[in-house]
Structure 1
């Protein structure tokens, strides 16, 4: 019986020109397909939900037992919110694997999370509004040239009379495709510091007005919405402010920080958590993250930039904060995790290297993207308090 040729034998039998032709076609297809997908994500990404996972909860005393998943196994603190009809919230400590389950101790609890309930578990800890922390707040909006941007306002001295409130406010800016709830982990410390907080949104983010084709500008035009948030703060009687940006929100904060001629009140410092500082490098690293070899990741990133620029007019030089580093004048508090696969930690390494005179850098070992607080909440909060006291001297601690 004649042996059938194997696939390798057939490949060896193909003419080399034909192989090269199909390899070239495959290469071009991957580059074009990857670039168009990357451009769509860069221009439009937004989500209605805070990232997390729904899990059944087993409870024994102060311990909860959860099925193993990337979220429940994550290093550091996570949060858990039971779905209706149960109400409550729990802050859970470090994970310990027990057989096929993950055990975490309850560090803090509001309400009651019963045994047998189903809950949302997440490294973002909270998925609601400040009321999830028992904090009273005001649903408000920031008037801009392109519409009203939803915001949460938390007074400076909680429950104090207006005449007793201080003069400082933190403008808190979420990231690309993010939600205001992702920064609620830091709200207790902001309140302890004595500053008021305004958690803002920006054009074309979830819940905010859609402008034109709904394209994001990676920090440039969104910075105008933050400048209007400073107008809002001035109208409320605040005299000085700090900017607090997460991921792309960090780029927005730095764009706004460079437009001093448009500040309605002084900005005295910037806090950055895993900031996107150079978008070309982000696009390249995302290609590598999803398995593209270097000879493909580079062309995909360059073509993505061209497509984004063609579709939206985006100028990548305008949002290149590493190139702009020599122009910075404000002190900065910078956090970045070494396991960040969204924004490479090398970007923050470089910013700290370029401006050691301005940047207080906390490089958090093992932290994923905007999860630095989870690894060591106490150290993060202490650094936050020290920085606020430094750049806003005289702020009255609550």
Structure 2
């Protein structure tokens, strides 16, 4: 016989389950809405770094200890106005409770006591921070003029050009670390932007398409290169920029104004479904919850923007690729899972030269071994664009 107490307990259990279900649904919904907003719109005014006071004694710089200042490899330092200068710092060591790094390169002044931007990206301005001559250009597209930097080859007439494509929420300056190697390789460089990125025209609601439509802006950059006298190109993409570069290889964009003879990829986003799930888990959600948040995020993104995730699945597209690919990815990448790079390398060992960089974070593969990275870059360009006049 059921007693009133049993009925009360049953009601309480049902209510508890209902509240738990509602809370779970609310968590998934909130996570999906936040994830969709980040996925569809991401642009920042500043190159990532930290602002810290700088101490200086002779050729040594002293910095507060932080994740950024303790990072492996070199650091860039830019004092805030009214101080003007830029320095590249070498390997760190601890000096008591602060970080000590030697100055490897310096332009302008880096005074003791300055408040400065410090970053593993090294540069936050233009090629002028490296003392390199460049011109501000625009790449004309049907949706507006995309700003770009053009750095001509060091020797001879235009022949081959590297079209450098930044990533999701990124800026052109993040790839200035690689400019000296590009110059030594003998190619010109065109650092481009794409629609709905910072500094570029906004189209519609400003939604990114994760590499799909942005590929049209890189195609326009190939037209710019043709008009500038270049005869062949390599595409060099970072993170989402890597997906854009591979999207340009789709049949619908052929024939190109000038041949694309190779692709370089640094920490590329190759499978956005997996990336969204990975980032949901990265922010502390248990795997089952992250799986649900990821699936619902994809649904929200598609509902808002019409995004076709199959179109930007470059692992699935791997059998169609027909140019050599140089690929770097770091084992400590918390933004794009390294499994994607390894899947691409395994799918096309005939085309992909893969470098798994131990200890490297997202788009920080260069920082672990700058000389090794530069050597791999220069050797690859020498292979795919033979005959250019190198340094």
| TM-score, length basis structure 1 | 0.94
Q: Distance in 2 between matches of 1:257 and 1:95?
A: 41
Q: How does 1:157-236 map to 2 (within 5 A)?
A: 157=154, 164-236=156-228
Structure 1: unaligned runs, 5 residues or longer? 1-11
Which secondary structure does the structure 2 equivalent of 1:396 belong to? coil
- C-alpha deviation, 1:93, in angstroms: 1.6
2:267 paired with 1:285: no
- Once the two structures are superposed, what CA deviation does each residue of 1:53-112 show, in whole Å capped at 9, x if it has no partner? 111111122211101122111122111111122222111122222222111111222223
* 3-state secondary structure, aligned to 1:127: coil
Decide which moves more: 211-220 or 79-88.
Answer: 79-88
Q: Describe the SS at the equivalent of 1:257.
A: coil
Superposed, which structure 2 residues align to 1:335-374 within 5 Å?
A: 335-374=328-367
| Structure-1 separation of matches of 2:304 and 2:362 | 28
Q: Decide whether aligned partners of structure 1 residues 230 and 115 sit closer, same or farther in structure 2, where only a CA change above 3 A counts.
A: same
What is the SS of the residue equivalent to 1:89? strand
User: Could you say what secondary structure the match of 1:187 adopts?
Assistant: helix
Partner of 1:20: 17
- Do 1:39 and 1:308's aligned partners in 2 also have CA atoms closer than 8 Å? yes
Unaligned runs of 5+ in 2: 1-8
Q: Distance in 1 between matches of 2:115 and 2:186?
A: 36
- 1:173-216 CA distances to partner (integer Å, 9 max, x unpaired)? 00000000000000111011110000000000000000011110
2:92 aligned residue: 95
Query: What's the secondary structure of 1:15's corresponding residue?
Result: helix
The Cα shift of 1:136 comes to 1.0
SS of aligned partner of 2:88:
strand
2:134 is matched with: 137
Aligned to 1:390: 383
Alignment match of 1:376 (pick from 334, 354, 369): 369
With 99-108 and 374-383 compared, the bigger mean Cα shift is at: 99-108
Work out whether residues 161 and 188 of structure 2, in 8 Å CA contact, stay in contact via their aligned partners in 1: yes
Secondary structure at the aligned position of 1:170 is classed as: strand
Mapped to 1, the partners of 2:355 and 2:19 lie a distance apart of 48
Helix, strand or coil at the partner of 1:131: helix
Distance across 2 between alignment mates of 1:213 and 1:272? 29
Number of aligned residue pairs: give it.
Answer: 382
Of residues 237, 240, 258, the one that matches 2:229 is 237
Q: 1:323 and 1:100, CA in 2 relative to 1: closer, same or farther beyond 3 A?
A: same
Deviates more, 1:257-266 or 1:334-343: 257-266
RMSD: 1.4
Q: More displaced, 54-63 or 274-283?
A: 54-63
CA deviations 1:361-398 (Å, max 9, x no partner) are: 11111111000111110000000000000000001103
1:120-131 alignment runs, 5 A limit: 120-131=117-128
